[in-house]
Amino acid sequence: MTESFSIDREADAAGRFARQASAFRDWAAETAPGRHHLYASYACPWAHRTLIVRRLKGLEDVVGVSFVHPFRDERGWAFPGGEHRDELHDWDFLADAYDATDPTFEGRVTVPVVWDRDERRIVNNESADIVRMLNAWGAEGPDLYPEGLRDEIDAVNELVYANVNDGVYRTGFAKSQEAYEESFSALFATLAELEERLGSQRYLVGDRITEADWRLFTTLVRFDAVYYVHFRCNGRRLVDHPSLWAYARELYQVPGVAETVRFDEIKRHYYTTHDMLNPKRIVPAGPLDMDWDAPHGRGRAR
């Protein structure tokens, strides 16, 4: 067993969780039906972005997808069968894709991954790149990274990534009280800032939904079910932020998006996979008070 499969998490000397950099960052400017295949997990917020963009850009018949099982042990993401099988190679583990691409790869095996069937290798395993490739490949649906808004989208992404997307992980995987409090404060300060912003505008950037919104959404949708409890992000719940909660419901209700949200897999993954946080692997039954289909009321002038 290599070190790369350790379940424990990396941390710096002060106990701060440090996410590894993605290893495969090639850019595929175009695709052809069946050429690229996505490896994803319904549980993972980074993979979730790519599933949403694949759906919204009408790429479901162009880019195939295989789903890993939500439970992950020291062998990494697996394809035990049924709904969770590798549609292309019948591999047992996602590590096989990394191995086939670079036998010397020693990092953590992560989702999402875009596999190139012609070149028989991973092209890219960084969700930020993958959403942009999918956005460029898909002829349908809105442009999620429009030319004139790119600087502003990049700026919002940076804040949301550091303090919210990665922030919940840094809070949950902190190995010291100081590291925990540092990311906890940044997380809730940023959520307060976003709450205010979304009180006066409908979306994060401009007057339309962009990739910035989907990148925030996949963390928000997991917040009360997982991060509030499992990662000790218990400052406030999503439902305690009226604008953010209505905004998240609006995004959830965009046609096609709800089908990408699998609360069963999300909860099962987090609560059964991180034994250092939840050794008995009991999956909390709540929340019981969130109606994602309730009217969001975001269309009104503000």
Number of residues that bind ligand GSH (CB under 6 A): 12
Residue 108 interacting with ligand GSH (CB under 6 A): yes
Please name which of 143, 191, 145, 141 lies closest in space to residue 165, comparing C-alpha atoms: 191
Q: Which residues contact 28 (CB under 8 A, 6 or more apart)?
A: 36, 114, 116, 123, 124, 133
Please name which of 178, 166, 168, 169 lies closest in space to residue 15, comparing C-alpha atoms: 178
Residue 110 interacting with ligand GSH (CB under 6 A): yes
| Shortest Cβ 138–ligand GSH spacing (Å) | 19
Residue 213 interacting with ligand GSH (CB under 6 A): no
Residue 211 interacting with ligand GSH (CB under 6 A): no
Residue 46 interacting with ligand GSH (CB under 6 A): yes
The active-site residue out of 39, 42, 98, 169 is 169
Q: Which residue in 31, 66, 101, 127 binds ligand GSH (CB under 6 A)?
A: 127
Please give, one letter per residue, the 3-state secondary structure of the chain. CCHHHCCCCCECCCCCECCCCCCCECCCCCCCCCCEEEEECCCCHHHHHHHHHHHHCCCCCCCEEEECCCCCECCECECCECCECCCCCCCCECHHHHHHHCCCCCCCCCCCEEEECCCCEEEECCHHHHHHHHHHHCCCCCCCCCHHHHHHHHHHHHHHHHHHHHHHHHHHCCCCHHHHHHHHHHHHHHHHHHHHHHHHCCCCCCCCCCHHHHHHHHHHHHHHHHHHHHCCCCCCCHHHCHHHHHHHHHHHCCCCCHHHCCHHHHHHHHHHHCCCCCCCCCCCCCCCCCCCCCCCCCCCCC
Which residues from 128-147 bind ligand GSH, rule CB under 6 A?
128
Q: Which residue in 111, 164, 205, 238 binds ligand GSH (CB under 6 A)?
A: 111
| Shortest Cβ 7–ligand GSH spacing (Å) | 8
| Shortest Cβ 73–ligand GSH spacing (Å) | 10
| Shortest Cβ 45–ligand GSH spacing (Å) | 6
| Shortest Cβ 136–ligand GSH spacing (Å) | 17
Residue 52 interacting with ligand GSH (CB under 6 A): no
Beta carbon nearer to ligand GSH, 43 or 62: 43
Residue 22 interacting with ligand GSH (CB under 6 A): yes
| Shortest Cβ 242–ligand GSH spacing (Å) | 28
Which residues from 72-101 bind ligand GSH, rule CB under 6 A?
76
Check if 44 is active-site.
Answer: yes
Residue 126 interacting with ligand GSH (CB under 6 A): yes
The active-site residue out of 44, 180, 270, 271 is 44
Residue 70 interacting with ligand GSH (CB under 6 A): no
22 to 42, 113, 117, 232, 246: CA distances (angstroms): 19, 10, 20, 26, 33
Residue 176 interacting with ligand GSH (CB under 6 A): no
Residue 202 interacting with ligand GSH (CB under 6 A): no
Residue 112 interacting with ligand GSH (CB under 6 A): yes
Q: Which residues bind ligand GSH (CB under 6 A)?
A: 22, 44-46, 76, 108, 110-112, 126-128
Q: Which residues are known catalytic residues?
A: 44, 169
